Protein backbone atom coordinates (compact mmCIF):
# COMPACT_ATOMS: atom_id res chain seq x y z
CA UNK A 1 0.00 0.00 0.00
CA UNK A 2 2.84 2.40 -0.79
CA UNK A 3 0.86 4.42 -3.33
CA UNK A 4 -2.07 5.19 -0.99
CA UNK A 5 0.37 6.37 1.69
CA UNK A 6 2.04 8.75 -0.77
CA UNK A 7 -1.32 9.99 -2.03
CA UNK A 8 -2.52 10.56 1.54
CA UNK A 9 0.62 12.55 2.36
CA UNK A 10 0.06 14.68 -0.75
CA UNK A 11 -3.50 15.36 0.44
CA UNK A 12 -2.31 16.44 3.90
CA UNK A 13 -3.60 13.27 5.57
CA UNK A 14 -0.36 12.34 7.35
CA UNK A 15 -2.06 10.45 10.20
CA UNK A 16 -3.91 8.19 7.75
CA UNK A 17 -0.74 7.84 5.65
CA UNK A 18 1.19 6.60 8.69
CA UNK A 19 -1.27 3.74 9.15
CA UNK A 20 -1.71 2.85 5.47
CA UNK A 21 1.12 0.30 5.47
CA UNK A 22 -0.58 -1.53 8.35
CA UNK A 23 -3.90 -2.09 6.56
CA UNK A 24 -5.09 -5.68 6.63
CA UNK A 25 -7.54 -7.38 4.33
CA UNK A 26 -10.78 -8.31 6.09
CA UNK A 27 -12.76 -9.07 2.92
CA UNK A 28 -12.60 -8.44 -0.80
CA UNK A 29 -15.51 -6.80 -2.54
CA UNK A 30 -17.86 -9.47 -3.83
CA UNK A 31 -19.65 -7.30 -6.42
CA UNK A 32 -18.33 -9.52 -9.23
CA UNK A 33 -17.28 -6.64 -11.50
CA UNK A 34 -14.01 -7.47 -13.26
CA UNK A 35 -12.78 -3.87 -12.88
CA UNK A 36 -13.26 -3.80 -9.09
CA UNK A 37 -10.34 -4.51 -6.73
CA UNK A 38 -11.94 -2.97 -3.64
CA UNK A 39 -11.37 -4.37 -0.18
CA UNK A 40 -12.64 -4.04 3.36
CA UNK A 41 -10.02 -3.31 6.01
CA UNK A 42 -12.36 -3.45 9.01
CA UNK A 43 -15.47 -5.51 9.78
CA UNK A 44 -18.74 -3.95 8.60
CA UNK A 45 -22.18 -5.30 7.79
CA UNK A 46 -22.86 -5.07 4.04
CA UNK A 47 -25.65 -2.70 3.06
CA UNK A 48 -25.50 -0.73 6.31
CA UNK A 49 -24.35 2.90 6.46
CA UNK A 50 -21.18 3.66 8.40
CA UNK A 51 -22.91 6.44 10.35
CA UNK A 52 -21.45 9.43 12.22
CA UNK A 53 -17.69 9.81 11.96
CA UNK A 54 -17.61 8.51 8.36
CA UNK A 55 -16.10 10.36 5.42
CA UNK A 56 -15.15 9.47 1.85
CA UNK A 57 -11.70 10.51 0.75
CA UNK A 58 -11.04 10.40 -3.01
CA UNK A 59 -7.33 10.24 -3.83
CA UNK A 60 -5.73 11.59 -7.05
CA UNK A 61 -4.33 8.28 -8.34
CA UNK A 62 -2.36 8.20 -11.59
CA UNK A 63 -4.53 5.35 -12.89
CA UNK A 64 -8.03 4.23 -12.09
CA UNK A 65 -9.99 5.40 -9.09
CA UNK A 66 -8.99 5.23 -5.42
CA UNK A 67 -11.50 6.27 -2.76
CA UNK A 68 -11.09 5.56 0.94
CA UNK A 69 -13.90 5.20 3.43
CA UNK A 70 -12.63 6.58 6.72
CA UNK A 71 -14.43 6.02 10.01
CA UNK A 72 -13.20 7.92 13.08
CA UNK A 73 -9.79 8.50 11.43
CA UNK A 74 -9.36 4.84 10.48
CA UNK A 75 -9.41 3.51 6.91
CA UNK A 76 -12.19 0.92 6.82
CA UNK A 77 -12.66 0.39 3.06
CA UNK A 78 -10.44 0.92 0.03
CA UNK A 79 -12.34 1.35 -3.24
CA UNK A 80 -10.07 0.46 -6.16
CA UNK A 81 -11.64 0.74 -9.61
CA UNK A 82 -9.89 0.08 -12.94
CA UNK A 83 -6.65 -0.77 -11.17
CA UNK A 84 -4.27 -3.71 -11.64
CA UNK A 85 -4.76 -6.76 -9.39
CA UNK A 86 -3.24 -6.48 -5.91
CA UNK A 87 -0.32 -8.68 -4.87
CA UNK A 88 -0.29 -10.41 -1.52
CA UNK A 89 2.47 -8.77 0.57
CA UNK A 90 2.98 -12.08 2.39
CA UNK A 91 4.34 -13.52 -0.84
CA UNK A 92 7.08 -10.92 -1.36
CA UNK A 93 10.41 -12.53 -2.07
CA UNK A 94 9.10 -16.08 -2.35
CA UNK A 95 9.76 -16.31 -6.10
CA UNK A 96 13.38 -15.28 -5.62
CA UNK A 97 14.08 -17.84 -2.88
CA UNK A 98 11.91 -20.64 -4.18
CA UNK A 99 11.06 -21.41 -0.56
CA UNK A 100 7.42 -20.37 -0.68
CA UNK A 101 7.95 -17.91 2.14
CA UNK A 102 8.49 -20.60 4.76
CA UNK A 103 11.16 -20.04 7.38
CA UNK A 104 13.85 -22.71 7.45
**Residue 17 in contact with residue 34, Cβ under 8 Å?**
no
Is the pLDDT confidence value at 96 over 80? no
What pLDDT score was predicted for residue 97?
Answer: 42
Q: How far apart are CA 51 and CA 15, in angstroms?
A: 21
Contact at 8 Å (CB) between 70 and 16? yes
Average pLDDT, the chain: 84
Alpha-carbon distance of 74 to 81, in angstroms, equals 21
102 pLDDT above the threshold of 80: no
Q: Is the pLDDT of residue 101 over 80?
A: no
pLDDT value at 84 more than 80: yes
How far apart CA 61 and CA 83 sit, in angstroms, is 10
Identify the pLDDT of residue 21: 84
Tell me what pLDDT residue 75 has.
Answer: 95
Amino acid sequence: MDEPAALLEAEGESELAAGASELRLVAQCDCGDDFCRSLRTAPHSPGRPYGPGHRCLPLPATSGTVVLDVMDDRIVYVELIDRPPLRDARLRGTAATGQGGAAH
